[in-house]
Amino acid sequence: MADKAASPEKKSWADVEEEEEAKAKATAAAEAAAAAAAASSSSSITEPAVEEQAKQIEALSLAPSVDDAAGEEGPPLLDDSDDSQIQAVISGGTVYESATTFEDLKLSPELLKGLHDEMGFSRPSKIQAITLPMILTPPYKDLVAQAHNGSGKTTCFVLGMLSRVDPQRKIPQAICICPTRELAQQNKAVLMRMGKFTGITCACAIPPAQKDYMPISKMAPITDQIVIGTSGTLIKWITHKKLATRDIKILVFDEADHMLAEDGFRSDSERMMRDIQRSAGGCQVLLFSATFNDRVKDFVTKVIRDGNQIFVKKEELTLEKVKQYKVQVPDESAKIEVIRDKIFEFGQKVGQVIIFVRTKQSTKNVHNALTREDYVCSSIQGSLDQSEREKIIQEFKDGYTKVLISTDVLARGFDQAQVNLVINYDMPIKFGTRDEPDYEVYLHRIGRAGRFGRKGAVFNLLCGQTDNVVMKKIEDYFQHSVPEVRNWQREEDFEAALKDAGLL
DNA sequence: AAAAAAG
């Protein structure tokens, strides 16, 4: 309680790094909106005390989510003292105390040690404070939770899995499904660090590299308590009885909107859910993502009927600290020129860069075009052999390569704090359309910069009329106007943009 | 016109 009053700057995991300007103010405001959404989405408020709390939360949502410099009029800035008014969030008639500290959550000493000593987290982030009690309190209701990119969702479900697993029993008790192998591996790495002192083990269910191929019949049954993987391999392990599902207590869908989208992994996900629910009975389902479009949200709320729900309005979803820009270029070769001669000039000084392209072939083309003796670039896409994918990711995470060209394989979830510049070489388009943006992919891509409230910049390279139509639709959708870099040939214009973003 | 996973 005492530290609550004396915390003008929010000491959470956002500031593990040295940046003191990463005060996570934007995150706090945005997450309050999440809490408000949670309160308003619950229809059955009965207890008066609860109702009052819900009103407080609702009131918070009226505060602007803009911080400094935005210059918009309106009520005063939502800061941490207001923020601390959030004590409980209710949903479906169950009351949950929001957690102020990890200690409030009655986590095991081993887990607390992992959080503090290994991860360096001092306090839960907002989404963690709200969802962890929901995840960890009986009757272990299902949960669908939306929160901003880089706000700490992974910790929510990793802690959930680690807490609900019995370390003494050497059988699978928790499963996490991810859309890409990279994300599965990353989540496993986080879980292993956080659970370092628990003795809990974890298997990664992704296809092996060519050189490690082994027929499934020769594979030993899984004895790890937790399995994290991609849908195809998980299903394969289950159908070949290498992964027993009867003791699964918790099933997590990371990037859940994509895992449940019709043009995503819905059929695989439904099959997993059906099989596990059938063999394990009442297993808790957790759905996490930064995005849930109306279509998916509609479907999800039908699937998770009796669960807790937290949603964020799409207008409040863009990260304040990640400045977006558009750059008009005459043709494709100008895109290369801009990246090489303008953006790299400054971008390289600043941190790491991810360049998103639409097709696998483009990763190679752009890679070749950008390769010069003084720039170390690498590129990744899903057709590479697994060992190659791992090597490229490792080199990037180690900071050996500064510029990574990627398809949307890395659009979601990929977490590298040093990435503060994202370039949309191609704009994300819904498959089968010419000028219909994929809003969710756009948001996820730009979320690769600005992890945990850090500053970042995005350059959208626009060439031709359809690109402009797409950009305009994106601005309208998120109700966020994107300024233009005036002249693609002027280095000073890019310098100004990066300065404005706080990167220079 | 096609990212992603996997058979």
The residue extents of the domains of chain A are: 2-316, 322-500
Q: Residue A19: what pLDDT?
A: 35
Answer yes or no: are the C-beta atoms of A201 and A224 closer than 8 Å: yes
Checking each nucleotide's C1' against the CA of A230, the nearest proves to be B5
Provide the CA A102 to C1' B3 distance, Å, integer: 38
For A133, the token pair is 């009690």
**Alpha-carbon span A31 to A452, nearest angstrom:** 12
A322-500 shares the fold of A2-316: yes
Is the per-residue pLDDT at A340 higher than 80? Answer: yes
Which segment of A32-46, A297-311, A383-397, A459-473 scores lowest on mean pLDDT? A32-46
Amino acid at A364: K
Pick A34 or A277 by higher pLDDT.
Answer: A277
**DSSP state, A239?**
H
Burial class (CB in 10 A: 0-12, 13-18, 19+), A306: exposed
Tell the residue number behind the tokens 């940046």, with chain if given: A19
Q: What is the pLDDT of residues A201-243, one digit of tens each?
A: 999 999 999 889 889 999 999 999 999 999 999 999 999 999 9
Helices of type H across A121-173: 126-136, 153-164
Which segment of A1-15, A262-276, A305-319 scores lowest on mean pLDDT? A1-15
**Which is it for the CA torsion A45, A49, A55, A57, positive or negative?**
negative
Provide the CA A432 to C1' B2 distance, Å, integer: 8
Q: State chain A's mean pLDDT as an integer.
A: 83
Answer yes or no: are the C-beta atoms of A389 and A338 closer than 8 Å: no
| 2.40.10.10, 3.40.50.300, 3.20.20.140, 3.20.20.150: CATH of A2-316 | 3.40.50.300
Provide the CA A359 to C1' B2 distance, Å, integer: 8
Confidence class for position A66, pLDDT limits 50, 70, 90 = very low
**Which is it for the CA torsion A352, A356, A361, A367, positive or negative?**
negative
Provide the CA A188 to C1' B2 distance, Å, integer: 29
Whose CB is within 7 A of strand B?
A: A 179-182, 205-207, 229-233, 236, 258, 263-265, 268, 358-361, 381-383, 407-409, 411, 431-434, 441
**3-state SS class at A496:** helix
Checking each nucleotide's C1' against the CA of A386, the nearest proves to be B5
Provide the CA A281 to C1' B3 distance, Å, integer: 34
CA dihedral A140, A143, A149, A152 (to 10 degrees): -10
Nucleotides on chain B that have an atom closer than 7 A to a protein CB are 1-7
Q: What is the mean pLDDT of residues A268-278?
A: 93
Tell the residue number behind the tokens 């890019």, with chain if given: A494
**Alpha-carbon span A189 to A123, nearest angstrom:** 21
**DSSP state, A77?**
P
**Alpha-carbon span A291 to A411, nearest angstrom:** 12
| 3.10.20.600, 3.30.420.40, 1.10.3720.10, 3.40.50.300: CATH of A322-500 | 3.40.50.300
Closest residue by C-alpha to C1' distance, nucleotide B5: A232
**3-state SS class at A503:** coil
Closest residue by C-alpha to C1' distance, nucleotide B6: A232
Give the CB-side neighbour count of residue A67, counting CA atoms within 13 A: 18
Confidence class for position A81, pLDDT limits 50, 70, 90 = very low
Checking each nucleotide's C1' against the CA of A268, the nearest proves to be B5
Checking each nucleotide's C1' against the CA of A411, the nearest proves to be B3
For A203, the token pair is 């298997």
Tell the residue number behind the tokens 């997450």, with chain if given: A31
Pick A34 or A108 by higher pLDDT.
Answer: A108
**3-state SS class at A449:** coil
Q: Residue A13: what pLDDT?
A: 28
Answer yes or no: are the C-beta atoms of A413 and A178 closer than 8 Å: yes
**Alpha-carbon span A20 to A81, nearest angstrom:** 19
CB atoms near residue A343 (< 10 Å): 25
Is the per-residue pLDDT at A32 higher than 70? Answer: no
Helices and strands in chain A, H and E counts: 19, 16
Q: Residue A93: what pLDDT?
A: 72
Q: What is the pLDDT of residues A155-167, one digit of tens each?
A: 999 999 999 999 9
Which range has highest mean pLDDT (A16-30, A31-45, A407-421)?
Answer: A407-421
